[in-house]
Amino acid sequence: MCKINKTLPCTHAPTAVTFLNCNNLTVDNLRIKNAPQMHLTFQRSLNVKASRLVVTAPEHSPNTDGIHVTETQNIQIQNCVIGTARTGDDCISIVSGSENVEATDITYEPGHGISIGSLGAGGSNDYVSNVMVDRAILTGSTTNGLRIKTWQGGSGYAKNITFQNVEMHSIRNPIIINQYYCDKKEPLCSEHALAVEVSNIGYKNITGVSALEEAINFKCSKSFPCREIWLEDVNLACQEDESVKAFCDSVELINQGNVSPSC
């Protein structure tokens, strides 16, 4: 309750399960419910296989990421259901120092989808590379679908990332890159010239329904535009039978096959 009611004395809420400094780790058939903070974290680990995980949390629980990957290389996440009841934050979040990440056959129910980042907070040098998300279903009022988020003023990169064979059902922001990410209400984030570079990001065979008419949003940095952003066979409709739209700012796009909506 102290995370919601700021007048209560509160210490940092714990993560339910953390795997730290592990090599050649296998985590299988694990169920985690209603963690006070993140549910499952893989940190500073190498060669990880996580499969058949089920994570659940209430809709309004704050910052209760399902699976959080940080400073971890060579990790496979397979056959998982995240947010069966609802997670209050990212279903899977992948942050700095993570490389060679595969997430396959994943079902995301209400939450914030899969996020790369945030990266670059507080002027930090962050990097994520070689991420593959393959065969995923996102459903039921999920706030974001496939998201990359970086802060102004940071440095580093998010590159070589592919999302493919993904079904969307009533997603508010199906595809989004935001290099102006800011979760502060006061004071507002100031303008910076520096930015985390975003490049070689692919979206292939992405289908489904957007809850809003703006189904694709690429809000990239004017000083460090998004490069090599490619879309292949992307078909997103609006659940309100309106025309879907794409917003694209400071982005180098490559379209292949049928892409709707397109800039």
Share of the chain above pLDDT 70, in %: 87
The average pLDDT across 55-71 equals 78
pLDDT of residue 11: 62
pLDDT of residue 143: 76
pLDDT of residue 86: 47
pLDDT of residue 7: 65
Beta strands in the chain (DSSP E): 17-20, 23-33, 40-43, 46-56, 67-70, 73-82, 92-94, 98-108, 114-119, 125-139, 144-150, 155-171, 173-178, 197-210, 214-219, 226-238, 245-249, 251-260
pLDDT of residue 184: 74
Using one digit for the tens of pLDDT, what is the confidence trace for 91-150?
899 999 999 999 999 998 766 789 999 999 999 999 999 999 999 999 865 678 999 999
Share of the chain above pLDDT 90, in %: 67
Tell me which of 16 and 131 has the higher pLDDT.
131
Using one digit for the tens of pLDDT, what is the confidence trace for 196-227?
999 999 999 999 999 889 999 999 999 999 99
* Cα 158 to the center of its chain, rounded Å: 12
Q: 39, 68, 90, 112: which one is catalytic?
A: 112
Tell me which of 249 and 240 has the higher pLDDT.
249
Name, of 34-43, 172-181, 182-191, the range with top average pLDDT.
172-181
Query: Which of 104-108, 146-150, 169-173, 254-258 has the weakest average pLDDT?
Result: 169-173
**Residue 175 — pLDDT band, cuts 50, 70, 90?**
very high
Task: Name the average pLDDT for the chain.
Answer: 89
Is residue 169 annotated as part of the catalytic site, yes or no? Answer: no
Which strand ranges, in their side-by-side order, compose the sheet holding 73-82? 23-33, 46-56, 73-82, 98-108, 125-139, 155-171, 197-210, 226-238, 251-260
Tell me, letter by letter, the H, E, C secondary structure of 9-76: CCCCCCCCEEEECCEEEEEEEEEEECCCCCCEEEECCEEEEEEEEEEECCCCCCCCCCEEEECCEEEE
Secondary structure letter of residue 195 according to DSSP: B
Q: Which two tokens stand for residue 188?
A: 């507002």
Is residue 112 annotated as part of the catalytic site, yes or no? Answer: yes
- Rounded Cα distance, 235 and 209, in Å: 9
Q: Is the pLDDT of residue 186 over 70?
A: no
Q: 89, 90, 126, 169: which one is catalytic?
A: 89
pTM of structure: 0.91
- Rounded Cα distance, 117 and 94, in Å: 6
